[in-house]
């Protein structure tokens, strides 16, 4: 197969897809939980709770102990968590194996890259700067930029358009049901990593493809863009 991605845009999820950020999220969450007198969350549970932003992360972690916070307290805990997390955002966070080589190859093949995440945009930029990946991306779009969270299609569509791309020639790469949902809502193909943060087995998420290493992604992206797909939203 001829590998050519000229004019294509690849939109990546961040946490659990490009970077293994669970250790730092885990550290910050347990600091907040301890301040509330709650037992720590395990790293395994933490990986299942990630995906809908800091507020939902705290809700899920608290619910695991049978606790439901009102909106005012959730706002306060979210602010505390964000402050603790941002102080040392990448102490233990690292890109997954093969990420940078794959980003380099995708770019050389003509693709434009963007990030489409439910993480706040400023934190996403800070994190990508810290792990030296931000220069690969023409746009970094968090849920706050759009005003909606994945799986709403605007997250994907905005990430593609701000990168100068065409949603009709774009692929979503992620790790969760939210990533599959945003791609489906936008009428775009989607590939899921097999090692991300999800409480559902990756092969059951309904993606067009599941891959286990980033060296598979360039050929996979070409294959997905050549296959028959629903017409993306404009």
pLDDT in tens, 195-207: 999 989 999 999 9
The residues pairing with 174 across neighbouring beta strands, listed in sequence order, are 192
- Taking the C-alpha atoms of residue 55 and residue 85, their distance in angstroms, rounded to an integer, is 13
Please list the residues that pair with 115 across neighbouring strands.
Answer: 12, 140
- Would you state the pLDDT for residue 2? 53
Which of 4, 13, 70, 88 is catalytic? The answer is: 13
Look at residues 42, 59, 87 and tell me which one is the last residue of a structural domain: 87
Domain count, the chain: 2
Please indicate, yes or no, if residue 233 is contained in any of the structural domains.
no
What is the average pLDDT value for the chain, to the nearest integer? 92
Mean pLDDT calculated for residue range 52-64: 85
Share of residues in the chain with pLDDT > 90 (%):
76
Looking at residues 153-157, what average pLDDT do you find?
97
Where residue 68 falls among pLDDT bands split at 50, 70, 90?
A: confident
Shared-domain flag, residues 111 and 204: yes
Are residue 144 and residue 212 in the same domain, yes or no?
A: yes
Contact 96, 197 (CB under 8 A): no
Is residue 83 domain-shared with residue 111, that is, in the same domain?
Answer: no
Q: Is 13 a catalytic residue?
A: yes
Distance of alpha carbon 223 from the chain centroid: 22
> By residue range, what is the domain housing residue 27?
22-87
**Same domain for 178 and 113:** yes
User: Mean of the pLDDT values across residues 169-181?
Assistant: 97
Identify the pLDDT of residue 1: 45
Any domain includes 159? yes
Q: 113 and 49 in one domain? A: no
44 assigned to some structural domain:
yes
CA 70 to chain centre: 27
* Interval 6-34: pLDDT, tens: 999 999 999 999 999 999 999 999 999 89
Q: Which pLDDT belongs to residue 232?
A: 45
**106, 154: one domain:** yes
CATH of the domain at 50: 1.10.150.240
- Token pair 């845009």 in the structure block, residue: 9
Q: pLDDT (tens digit, 9 = 90+) per residue, 41-52?
A: 888 888 888 877
| Domain end residue (candidates: 52, 69, 87) | 87
- Indicate the pairing of strand 170-174 with strand 139-141: unpaired
Of 58, 87, 116, at which residue does a domain stop? 87
């Amino acid at each position: 197969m001829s590998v050519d991605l000229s004019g294509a845009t690849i939109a990546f999820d961040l946490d659990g897809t490009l970077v293994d950020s669970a250790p730092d999220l885990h550290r910050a969450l347990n600091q907040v939980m301890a301040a509330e007198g709650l037992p720590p969350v395990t790293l395994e549970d933490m990986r299942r709770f990630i995906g809908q932003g800091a507020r939902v992360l705290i809700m899920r972690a608290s619910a695991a102990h049978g606790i439901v916070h009102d909106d005012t307290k959730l706002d306060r805990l979210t602010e505390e968590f964000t402050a603790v997390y941002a102080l040392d955002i990448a102490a233990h966070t690292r890109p997954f194996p093969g990420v940078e080589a794959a980003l380099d190859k995708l770019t050389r093949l003509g693709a434009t890259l963007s990030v489409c995440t439910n993480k706040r945009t400023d934190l996403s930029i800070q994190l990508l700067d810290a792990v030296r990946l931000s220069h690969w991306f023409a746009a970094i779009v968090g849920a706050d930029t759009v005003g909606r969270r994945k799986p709403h299609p605007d997250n994907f569509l905005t990430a593609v358009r701000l990168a100068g791309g065409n949603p009709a020639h774009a692929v979503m790469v992620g790790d969760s049901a939210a990533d599959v949902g945003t791609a489906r809502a936008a009428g775009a193909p989607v590939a899921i990593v097999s090692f991300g943060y999800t409480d559902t087995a990756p092969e059951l998420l309904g993606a067009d493809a599941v891959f286990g290493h980033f060296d598979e992604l360039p050929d996979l992206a070409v294959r997905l863009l050549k296959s028959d797909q629903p017409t993306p939203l404009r």
